[in-house]
A and B are shown apart, each in its own frame.
Chain A
């Protein structure tokens, strides 16, 4: 699976900057036989994982056939499934759902994560107590975390509606109503993954050199000015790493949506993966499910390629 070569070229660039200090003389130059050594060492890991390319290629093939579990006769129909997909409102619905979901959750997570990172970077009693606890939501399995929220979101007995009742709201339907379903899953995503962004940004804040900040303070720059013109630009590479990971992961989110509503009510939450799961396994249309996943993969690929370029730029600007 060349799945994310895109994201790679970014990382590749990163690694080129700090080349492995390979001393060719010492390691590879001791004989012609040594030339094959690295390949030999990598081989077992490749043999173990590369067979996955077979299903990947098969996926491409299936996406161009009429294959379904109930009718296993495969007719090769080239791109007809794709053409059909592009005229299907359900497909455009899943595109919209995926992007709204990923966009809003990553956007909120970035802002909240930045706030939490800045707060935890201060030396106060609570920041010391809370720092190790930041990991908690992130480490719990997404499906388990979702079940936990499902218990709290119950319209009849859920504790969240109890809190809402203080503000006069009654019988908020959470995931059971189309209106609030997206809000509910985004809230779970924000709870689960804000710590991821906060953690990386906190590491970024802590790695910053003191002199530029001291100089700005001496010059009498305001806190906001320093934050906007010094902290944020220096934090940019960290922000981008966090956003790349989060954006890709949320565009292929499955556990949260499946765990909470299985894509419902109706098709309100049918994003790419949940929709592909339903198409392939509930409606047994392997071909359409595969076509959907090919498109999902392409989108992830293109976005990661774009972000990786952006990452390189921000790193270049720093150095």
Chain B
């Protein structure tokens, strides 16, 4: 009796796990297939891409990557500058500078907003948050006109400044939630011992908030790197980031499948590497501290 009972229980658990695994397989086939397919497409020759039925087995080639990293390529209809590497460099430069600027000013601000009680604290905090939620074009249309007038259009500084709208709210809101977690007793002890607030901040609070700074930096970097609309409107050629230059491979003439696929892969690689590191901060970071895990 007892054994047959435990046998049927075992069977039940086995089937439960089987159902869970099958459903997971279906869901993740949908979530992962595009990445798999486009990666394989990036290594296909032009002829292999344009065949029917699509090829799942093929001879890999680097031709597409060579295409998009060569400065200027001549096509049947004129020359198309497909300076993808330059876009890559632009992305790196603009995103890193925007992040550094946001960290320098945002870390102290987040500390003050998370620790001190003062008049207007909530209003200030929410003003920062509102940058995250407002429709971008609301400010980009007038900024576009202002930038053209004062010569910031299509410049490195102009773009770095506008990117503050992405990086600053993330840095401040994610860090606020971490600073609130740092024990006040330690801080008080240091102050009572006669150390200055600056010293206490640098020697005690900053080291304790390190995971927060890591979370904020990683996520802000990823979001800034992934941004498209700001640079589309405010940076036409000189400071074009990868997200905008990837669009160049869609010409009026045709979709350049292989080139687009290779561009997508190259643009995504740095982000995928970073997101591996960001795994454990992800929930708290993406919800801007609303969900603490």
Contact = CB atoms under 8 A, between A and B. Distances in A.
Given A45-B168, A55-B146, A281-B233, A11 B290 contact: yes
A297 B138 CA distance: 8
A41 B275 CA distance: 31
B143 A141 contact: no
A167 to B, nearest CB: 15
B32 to A, nearest CB: 6
B106 interface: yes
A1 B134 contact: yes
Contact of A151 (B20, B101, B261): B261
A41 B180 contact: no
The interface residues of chain B, by DSSP majority, are classed as helix
Interface stretch (B1-9, B67-75, B77-85, B266-274): B266-274
A259 B264 CA distance: 13
The interface residues of chain A, by DSSP majority, are classed as helix
A241 B138 contact: no
Contacts, number: 336
A49 interface: yes
13 contacts: A1-B130, A8-B126, A28-B117, A37-B197, A42-B124, A119-B24, A126-B20, A132-B276, A133-B28, A156-B52, A191-B30, A272-B135, A293-B135
Interface of B: 17, 20-21, 23-25, 27-28, 30-32, 34-35, 37-38, 41, 49-54, 101-102, 104-106, 108-109, 111-118, 121-139, 141-143, 145-146, 161, 164-165, 168, 172, 179-180, 184, 187-188, 191-192, 197, 222, 225-229, 233, 243, 246-247, 250, 255, 257, 260-261, 263-264, 267-268, 271-272, 274-276, 279, 282-283, 286-287, 290-291, 293
Q: Which 8 A-B pairs have the closest CB atoms?
A: A3-B134, A8-B126, A55-B142, A141-B226, A3-B130, A45-B109, A252-B135, A41-B112
Interface of A: 1-5, 7-9, 11-12, 14-15, 18-24, 26-28, 30, 35, 37-39, 41-42, 44-46, 48-50, 52, 54-56, 58-59, 62, 112, 115-116, 119-120, 122, 124-127, 130, 132-137, 139-145, 147-152, 154, 156-157, 159, 162, 165, 191, 194-196, 199-200, 202-204, 206-207, 238, 241-242, 245, 248, 251-252, 254-255, 258-259, 272-273, 276-277, 280-281, 286, 289-290, 293-294, 296-297, 300, 304
